[in-house]
Amino acid sequence: MTSRSSRPALLAACSTPPPPGTLPEMPPGVTAPDEYAFGDDVASRDLRASGPVHDVLVEEVDAEKLRNLPLVLEVDVDAATVRDAYADELVGRGWESMPDLPAGDDAWTQGWISADGRDALVLVGLEPEAGETHVPLTVLTTLPDEAAEGS
Average pLDDT over residues 87-107: 92
| Tens digits of residue pLDDT in 23-60 | 999 999 999 999 998 999 999 999 999 999 999 999 98
8 A C-beta contact, residue 86 and residue 112: yes
Tell which wins on pLDDT, 78 or 104: 78
- Radius of gyration from C-alpha coordinates of the chain: 17
Average pLDDT over residues 117-138: 95
Please report the sign of the dihedral spanned by the C-alpha atoms of residue 118, residue 96, residue 23, residue 69: negative
Say how many C-beta atoms besides its own lie within 10 A of residue 10's C-beta: 10
Question: What confidence tier does 150 reach under pLDDT thresholds 50, 70, 90?
Answer: very low
Question: What confidence tier does 104 reach under pLDDT thresholds 50, 70, 90?
Answer: confident
Query: Could you give the CA distance from residue 70 to residue 91 in angstroms, rounded to a whole number?
Result: 22
Task: Identify the DSSP state of 65.
Answer: T
Query: Quick one: pLDDT at residue 111?
Result: 97
The letter for the amino acid at 68 is N
Query: Quick one: pLDDT at residue 20?
Result: 56
Distance from the first to the final alpha carbon of the chain: 37
Q: What is the pTM of this model?
A: 0.82
Query: Quick one: pLDDT at residue 103?
Result: 85
Contact residues for 57 (Cβ-Cβ < 8 A; gap 6+): 66, 120, 122, 140
